Structure 1
């Protein structure tokens, strides 16, 4: 997904924030779980950085992305991302996104994974996270809530993850499709442009991403669609903006990729 997660081709003002890279446990912390939230007023990018503590990224509203190497996760109000301490990552959020971050003390809370993993933000998990963000929460209540949070926190097999190909052969294709998911060029078209066979491109996509070119394009479109749906755009409009000729075709493809229909995703 393009960093702006905006309507394809639309130019929007952008803010870039630079954060340090800090190794795990390098900074003493006196908390078990600490919460932060902010509504960004402009499309915002965070440069690559790392934290000395574990982090759970999720959104109260809107969509954002987190990037680790060539992997791009989409974060929503119902699908968060666990980022282990010391993991270099960058990120972006569109204007109006209410992003939330819960920090877990490196010495006081075990990591649920050694690598970034998706976390489903269930109603119970959201309730616990929001309670910990309440000002003036009594120490005894905080301790009980933190223990419950750590008990229910777990990786989820459901994720919006895109593996971005980085080879010289596939980079032009990946950049074009991520910049504008309405791009309708097929393997045959790309092969003619790049002077190779369609089979060569097909094999390269499977080798670099683990999925076919068609499934990869569908994943890019799904990530764009998530951002547009969270901004309240009608399904018919989103379908057109991400390259589908009909709302029904978009709904079917979105469900194959995410496991939810666009309506069910928006309701969740």
Structure 2
């Protein structure tokens, strides 16, 4: 079965999407597999790795469904032009055979669980966020433990599968690639505090505001303001997950007060800044 290709990855805002040439980044190349192309001797296989250096994962795909999350900190995955933020609270389900790439900063405790396609139906035909509740994390930890008896493993796997479901909120963003919108995306990626208004961008690019608004909705599904706010929140989550103070994060992503930042954060993510990077 051929791998499912939903597009080549785009650059993640605020996160490097290609390895620099100075050797500071670990670049990993993994195979492209189709869904179920390799028979695996497990139902769920959970593993963990502490990432020693900033790591870029080249485009790859798995014969199994994959669930990604972190024990601490934030990483990103890129699928079909969408940037997904992965944290201890918000994992990412990637159906088998779907191509993806990723970026994991140094120091992240990275977790991944593989699910056999012949035993586990995908919870979605497309990538979706999964809420990593404390119970679900404990059960996945148990599957990672050595010496778990077969009967106990089977019971644990059954409960894990029962708990898996798409989250109500997900932090994902499609990156526009048209020549018109690319300068806007690049600016927000490099400086989430940039305060250039829609009208100012229209003047700078020589078009009217409706042209930019229509282009954003056509390429990303979001209006200009919502897209910028979502891009800012992806930056914010990465900062919060590494322990930065809320007041500092608010200022660095362009908000004049923690209360204004908190309101925007809740509107985009469905959670408060203090609770989002649950560890």
TM-score w.r.t. length of structure 1: 0.93
Q: Which residue does 2:186 correspond to in 1?
A: 175
The offset of 1:244, in angstroms, is: 1.5
Q: Say which SS state the counterpart of residue 145 (structure 1) adopts.
A: helix
Q: Which residue does 2:59 correspond to in 1?
A: 48
Indicate conservation of the 8 Å contact 1:15/1:42, yes or no.
yes
Q: Which residue does 1:90 correspond to in 2?
A: 101
Q: 1:19 to 1:266 in 2, by over 3 A?
A: closer
> Aligned equivalents of 2:71 and 2:188: distance in 1?
28
Q: Does 1:261 align with 2:272?
A: yes
> Aligned equivalents of 2:122 and 2:277: distance in 1?
30
Q: Does 1:241 align with 2:252?
A: yes
Q: Which residue does 2:215 correspond to in 1?
A: 204
Q: Which residue does 2:113 correspond to in 1?
A: 102
The offset of 1:25, in angstroms, is: 1.4
> Aligned equivalents of 1:251 and 1:112: distance in 2?
31
Indicate conservation of the 8 Å contact 1:119/1:156, yes or no.
yes
> Aligned equivalents of 1:156 and 1:260: distance in 2?
12
Residue segments in structure 1 that go unaligned for 5+ positions in a row:
6-11
TM-score w.r.t. length of structure 2: 0.90
Q: Which residue does 1:3 correspond to in 2?
A: 15
Q: Say which SS state the counterpart of residue 95 (structure 1) adopts.
A: coil
The one of 47, 59, 75 equivalent to 1:36 is: 47
The offset of 1:267, in angstroms, is: 4.9
Q: Say which SS state the counterpart of residue 154 (structure 1) adopts.
A: coil
The root-mean-square deviation of aligned C-alpha atoms, in Å, is 1.8
> Aligned equivalents of 2:158 and 2:201: distance in 1?
53
Residue segments in structure 2 that go unaligned for 5+ positions in a row:
1-12, 18-22
Count of matched residue positions in the alignment of Structure 1 and Structure 2? 263
1:166-201 per-residue CA deviation (whole Å, 9 max, x = no partner) reads: 212111111211122111111122122211112211
> Aligned equivalents of 1:258 and 1:109: distance in 2?
28
Q: Which residue does 2:20 correspond to in 1?
A: none
Q: Which residue does 2:128 correspond to in 1?
A: 117
